[in-house]
Amino acid sequence: MIGYLNGKIKFLAPEFCIVDVNGVGYKVYPDAATRQDLQKDSPIEFFVYTAVREDAITLYGFKNPAALEFFELLLSVSGIGAKSALAIVSKISPADFAAAVARQNFASLTRLPGIGKKSAERIVLELKDKIKPFSTGSDGAGDFVPAKISTDAISEAEDALSALGYTSAEISSVFAKAPKNSTTEQLVKFALKELNRFG
């Protein structure tokens, strides 16, 4: 099972690339954002998901472990295959996706490629206890971590902050930095402290 490749770009196509690793060419399907940054003959490293079927072995490549983990999490949802998961990874950041799931924001989810109302409901049902809003690292990738802050606490705190006039974007960015296991009251206090600091 291939999990990582380090080589150089030998060939570029609209949907895939060939990575030369010590004279062996691997056909890799990257997400759209990663594909845009690729250049022929440039060095590259991919964190890889290997999809094995009876008639094919397909490699999907990502620029960091968080994106790969995002992709794998999407595959755990009933009815979402590799192509759909890759399209979703290309359209939304892990942090925004986690926030949409935590808040049961079906409007955001149904804007993703191939996701209708039923699919959005299934995503929330199957993933709401697996992820929490992301803490975004210096590379902007973010990390998936086990759910520590309950969705009820997030929802209640968001309602309270919205009533005070804060936007969803402001609330989301602060919640991503909130301490684990925060209660509704702790979330609100933390958010007010952070938002007033930058206000």
pLDDT tens digits, 133-152:
444 443 444 444 444 455 66
pLDDT tens digits, 18-76:
999 999 999 999 988 889 889 999 999 999 999 988 888 999 999 888 889 889 999 99
Q: How far apart are CA 186 and CA 32, in angstroms?
A: 38
Find all residues with CB under 8 Å of 49, minimum gap 6, and list them: 59, 60, 62, 68, 71, 72, 75, 82
Partners of 119 in the β-ladder: none
In eight-state DSSP terms, residue 135 is B
Name the amino acid, one letter, at 39: Q
- The phi and psi torsions of 50 (rounded to 5 degrees) equal -100, 115
Contact by Cβ (8 Å): 19, 25 = yes
